Amino acid sequence: MNGPPSSSKSKQHRLNEWPLLPSPAAPWRPALARGVVLRRDRVRGADLLLLPERVVVLDGGAGEVLRLCDGVRDVDAVVAELAVRHPAAPVAAEVPVFLDRLRKEGWLR
pLDDT digits (tens, 9 = 90+) for 35-72: 999 999 999 999 999 999 999 999 999 999 999 999 99
Residue 23 above 80 pLDDT?
no
Whole-prediction pTM value?
Answer: 0.76
Residue 16 above 60 pLDDT?
no
CA–CA distance, 26 with 72 (Å, rounded to integer): 13
Among the residues of the chain, which ranges form H helices? Answer: 8-17, 62-67, 75-85, 91-105
CB 58 within 8 A of CB 69: no
Task: Find the length of the chain.
Answer: 109
